[in-house]
Structure 1
Amino acid sequence: MKQNLKVQSFWGFCQNRTEVVNEIGLCIDTAEVKLLTSISVLGNQSAVEILIEIENIHRFENAKKLSAYFGLHPVFKQSGDGKWGNHMSKKGRSEIRAVLYMSGLTAIRYSELFRNIYSNARAKGKNHFSSMGVVMHKLLRVIFGVLKNKQGFSTIVDEQNVSNAKTKKDEQKEKRKTQKKEQVIKLERYNNAGLNGSPISKRHAKKHKKIQET
């Protein structure tokens, strides 16, 4: 990005938001605008506003940190009457979340990818706004990916990335199961040490002798 630009709360005082965005857009790297508009649900104005907010994608290590910056990450909240649950943190500027929300509405209307994400969230019992939060998360991850990799959006690449992420998650889950089984086996060996004639340490021998005496 050619300049580090940051739009603060003066948005609320702008009489012609589109004109202001277009003027600021002249200072934005047009290559990055083209990258974002490769996501069919983002127009030039939305792309410019998002780029203004991000400033430099390399400030963010991963998509989760970008999501937290936009205030989309979940946080645990509990009220005085005992109601609790995970909710969107809503940190940062509400104006930029509104841009993502409106882009999300466009996405579920015209994009099969985002429409399926929304439908799956609703099928799991989430309400409209929670489901839109899932869509906004996905949209922000896509934005992070195209800017970080400097490649236009492709549904084929996205499907492959999702598949790879699922495979990695399954592998990690299986690894945790294996580690848990190994811990159980190790604990059983520890508890049964010496009972079947297997060699044990002096500390274990002393412990078992004490148990037998009692």
Structure 2
Amino acid sequence: MTSIPGIGEVIALIILSEIGDISRFPSKKQLTAFAGLDTLVFQSGKYLARSGKISKRGTPYLRKVLYMTVTAGISNQSTGTSNKVLRDFYDHLLEQGKTKRVAFTATSCKLLRIIFGILKSNTTFISQS
């Protein structure tokens, strides 16, 4: 997990301790729900409304660590962005007209999906750019 730019040894250990055994989560959606980054859905009869808010039903520590990691990942440094994949995704969402908060939450979900893929496949992070 430390192959992801912006994640060091301490952050990786915190994430691993919060997630635990990755085989508990058969899909990335279940891991997203565990982190509390899934959206709330209100339904009554045929009416279906999405509030746009995250559920926050999972572990708050994992959300905080993802927040810090995404903050470091999308920040512009003198040497360029820390994590080009996250920064490009964040910028793409802003160009689509999403608010900064929505784009930031979606980028946190993206990072969680990357972590899920790395842990499930037992590989390292390879940037496509």
TM-score normalised according to structure 2 size:
0.83
Structure with the higher strand share, 1 or 2: 2
Amino acid at match of 2:99: N
Q: Tell me whether 1:123 sits opposite 2:88 in the alignment.
A: no
The aligned counterpart of 2:125 is: 153
Normalized per residue, the structure richer in helix is: 1
CA deviation after TM superposition for structure 1 residue 94, in Å: 1.6
Task: Describe the superposition over 1:52-95 as per-residue Cα deviations: whole angstroms up to 9, x where unpaired.
Answer: 111100000011111110001111259xxxx9622211112222
8 Å CA contact 2:36–2:57 kept in 1: the answer is yes
TM superposition outliers: structure 1 runs of 4+ over 3 Å: none
CA–CA distance in structure 1, aligned partners of residues 41 and 72 of structure 2: 29
The answer on whether the counterparts of 1:77 and 1:86 sit within 8 Å (CA) in structure 2 is no
Q: Which runs of 5+ in 2 are unaligned?
A: 44-48, 76-81
Residue 106 of structure 1 is matched in structure 2 by: 72
Find the counterpart in structure 1 of residue 20 from structure 2. Answer: 55
* Maintained 8 Å contact 2:37/2:109: yes
Aligned equivalents of 2:52 and 2:100: distance in 1? 15
Equivalent position of 1:210 in the other structure: none
> What CA distance in whole angstroms lies between the structure 2 residues aligned with 1:67 and 1:96?
10
Distance 2:95 2:123 in 1: 32
| Separation in 2, partners of 1:57, 1:95 | 17
The superposition leaves residues 122-177 of structure 1 with CA deviations (integer Å, 9 ceiling, x where unpaired) of 12222211111111011001100111000011123xx8xxxxxxxxxxxxxxxxxx
What corresponds to 2:54 in structure 1? 88
Aligned positions, number:
118
Deviation at 1:111, TM superposition (A): 1.6
- Counterpart residue number, 2:32: 67
Query: What is the match of residue 134 of structure 1?
Result: 106
Q: Identical aligned pairs, as a percentage?
A: 35
CA separation in 2, counterparts of 1:146 and 1:55? 14
Taking the aligned partners of 1:91 and 1:103, their CA distance within structure 2 comes to 20
RMSD: 1.9
What corresponds to 1:38 in structure 2? 3
Secondary structure (helix, strand or coil) at the match of 1:37 reads coil
